[in-house]
Amino acid sequence: MTAVSQSVGKRESGVALAIVIFVLLALVGLGHTALYVASQEWLIARAAADRTGVRHAAEGAAALLAATWETRRYRWLGQLEAVPGASGRLENGFRYETWVRRVGRELYLIESTGFAEPAGVRVQVGRVVWALDPVARLAALPAALTSGGEVIIEDQAQVDGERVALPPPGWAGPPCDSLGAVSDSLYPTGRTAGLAVSAETAVAAPPGGVQGAPSILKLGDIPAVALGPVDVERLVALAERRAAGSTFPSAVVAGETCDTRAPLNWGAPGDPLGPCGTYFPLVAGDGDLTLVGGEGQGVLVVDGDLEIRGDARYAGIVLVRGRLVLGDSAFITGFALADRGATLGGNARLEASACAALQALARSEDLQRAFRIPEGNWIPLFF
């Protein structure tokens, strides 16, 4: 082999070695690149999974707070004032915090934040809920009786808005003393309208059959038979206490304790300082309902006609999707709304009472909850 051949062979070997080294470096580089891309894709997927998990944690915490809502705790918040709710850590390591902020008279924003640590993922969502405010609901009632249909008052029956700021019979003292300032602010003259109807609605009443300021209030639009956005259908579904057909409610006391499990125990308006004097249930009638006597208090919702006769007595709020009929010596103290009109006869009496209405709205346990607005929607506050 000549010197030239040896020289050419060495050059070819050097070039081959350089190519091999270049290829190896390229493969290593591609491997590192692929590893980097894969790791970045894993991190992105992990971050997306964390974000989804954190969002679910935040939404779940807000839903739990809404489900265990206690309006009494938040009713005294000022406008845009907030208080902390529940906080904790889930088994998967995600953490959550909740706050409740009042954004309107009866509107609240549940703010919920989920965290994934140490990834630093943070998601905040919100849900607007409606919660009943007794004073706001009372202010929305235009008269002792609001009727969407014909009103007939006969015999000695009467609808009275003149005593709205006074305690109901037998309620003088503690049941109403603390509500005096509220009554005075809503009814500075101590009176409200006796009857509210549309301009086209027929009213037949003898002289003195309707008392109030004014006695009859003509409205362009009659308020719906509801409590704010909560209509009769939802109220009936919400109520734990049900009634149907003819019934005779009466307070039930076991020893010195009010037996709230007794089906016909609707509270004791005749004994406001007794064991059942502070019991104001939400009672629902799935269809037509007749009270043949007895007594009750709270919020009575009837998805049909309601007839009250005998010496039956009811204190609070009465919502009737059908027609309201009072006869004999039946007595309602509070406020009533009847979608299809009302008939009062005999010595029946419907007397406006701010105290009875406020007590019913504030003390009814079934109404101390939150209602979502709008239904099912979450608000992403920030990410």
pLDDT of residue 42: 46
Count how many domains the chain has: 2
Shared domain for 39 and 179, answered yes or no, is no
Distance CA 226, CA 320 (A): 9
Distance CA 337, CA 340 (A): 9
Shared domain for 295 and 338, answered yes or no, is yes
Shared domain for 46 and 70, answered yes or no, is yes
Contact criterion met (CB below 8 Å) for 274 and 257: no
Contact criterion met (CB below 8 Å) for 329 and 345: no
Distance CA 340, CA 54 (A): 50
Shared domain for 172 and 57, answered yes or no, is no
DSSP sequence for 243-293: EEEEE-----EETTEE-TTSTT----TT-TTSTTTT---EEEEEEEEEE-S
DSSP SS3 for 47: helix
Shared domain for 283 and 316, answered yes or no, is yes
pLDDT of residue 332: 98
pLDDT of residue 55: 85
> Which two tokens mark 13?
């070997």
Distance CA 15, CA 17 (A): 5
pLDDT of residue 117: 76
Greatest Cα-to-Cα distance within the chain, rounded to the nearest angstrom: 141
pLDDT of residue 49: 57
> Which two tokens mark 229?
């956005």
Shared domain for 193 and 224, answered yes or no, is yes
Q: Domain of 27?
A: 1-132+368-383
Shared domain for 226 and 195, answered yes or no, is yes
Backbone angles phi, psi at 340, to 5 degrees: -115, 25
Please return the burial class of 59, using the count of CB atoms within 10 Å of its CB with bins 0-12, 13-18 and 19+: middle
pLDDT of residue 184: 87
Give every CB contact of residue 51 below 8 A, 6+ residues apart in sequence: 116, 121, 123, 383
Shared domain for 143 and 71, answered yes or no, is no
Q: Enumerate residue ranges in the chain where pLDDT < 50.
A: 8, 42-45, 382-383
pLDDT of residue 368: 92
Shared domain for 372 and 235, answered yes or no, is no
pLDDT of residue 383: 37
Shared domain for 50 and 169, answered yes or no, is no
Shared domain for 213 and 113, answered yes or no, is no
DSSP SS3 for 180: helix
pLDDT of residue 349: 98
Contact criterion met (CB below 8 Å) for 307 and 327: yes
Shared domain for 41 and 69, answered yes or no, is yes
pLDDT of residue 57: 86
DSSP sequence for 112-139: EEEEETTTTEEEEEEEEEE---HHHHHH
